[in-house]
Amino acid sequence: MSRILAAICVCGVAPGLVFAQTSFLVPDINGDKIVRYNTAGQPIDHMVGAGISPLDGPNSILLNHDGTMLVSSRAGDSILKYNVMTGQYLGAWVAAGVGGLNGPSGMTYGPDGHLYVASYESDQVLKFNGATGALISVFVGAGSGGLNGPDSVAFGPDGNLYVASSLSDQILRYNGSTGAFMGVFVPAGSGGLNAPVFLYFRPDGSLVVSSLDSDSVLRYNGTTGAFISALIPTGSGGLDQPWGIAVSDSGDLYVSGSSARVFRYNSEGLFLGVFITSGSGGLSRPAHIIFHDSCPSDFDENETVDILDFLGFIDAFSIGC
């Protein structure tokens, strides 16, 4: 029995004996905090509390394999680093203003392992060393191809970089190796596109975009950019100004809205309900949301491994015996 107890009291040890838990991390861009929720949409805590670190206008979160996370501090013009389990502040990964960084919004790691950051106010995409945070280059120059208010970046299946140009209502494509402009991938107004904020590619290769000012989530051909459908039609379930999108393992979509709520839809866009109710956990304006697999030993999802988790393991282990 003591060996089992030792196995479940250390995160990541003997994962075959326990069940992985997932939490839901929501940067509150107006509240300068990151709120953590369980899989039922109930608040756990303020993982990063307001005023505890230099976090100012958190916009997006990027998880690392070393147990840390990067957060774009949009009003602070910096990228900050935290312990992903405890929320402990670990310092500025990219200091304020480095390389002209101004209003960092969406971030992604490229195929080369480096960090690409949309600099909203300077109309650029900057490239930083993925291991050190040091500036490598201005990957996409100011206004290249008409870039205006870049809000989200993603590498496509073709290895090229796609950028949501929110103020020009377009999705732009750039060479994934050089940053050279390759053309307008989705033109303004296609399918009702108006102020694209977040984009990602589905496993089937199609491109999904949150359209802030049309209150919808749109889907496009990932090869040609042609409009396919409104994956989530205008205002479905009360959706208002969709911002970030997180996709569960089952394919469900969780979409943040300006009404301080997070909405849930199935993979085909059918409304399943409000996942996080207005103001829950002190949330004021959710931005780019993300799932996080927490410690597999944390059965009750309170972010602490203790005797209650051990009892939960014993209960689960005894089912059917």
pLDDT for residue 7: 24
Higher pLDDT, 9 or 278: 278
Indicate the pLDDT class of residue 17, thresholds 50, 70 and 90.
Answer: very low
CA distance 174 to 196: 17
pLDDT for residue 314: 54
pLDDT digits (tens, 9 = 90+) for 195-239: 999 999 999 999 999 999 999 999 999 999 999 999 999 999 999
pLDDT for residue 146: 98
- Over 80: is that where the pLDDT of 309 sits? no
CA–CA distance from 216 to each of 63, 208, 212, 271 (Å)? 27, 11, 7, 12
- Over 90: is that where the pLDDT of 101 sits? yes
CA distance 169 to 189: 7
Can you tell me the mean pLDDT for 104-113?
Answer: 97
pLDDT digits (tens, 9 = 90+) for 134-185: 999 999 999 999 999 999 999 999 999 999 999 999 999 999 999 999 999 9
Q: Which two tokens stand for residue 43?
A: 């608040």
How do 207-211 and 33-37 pair as beta strands? unpaired
CA distance 303 to 306: 10
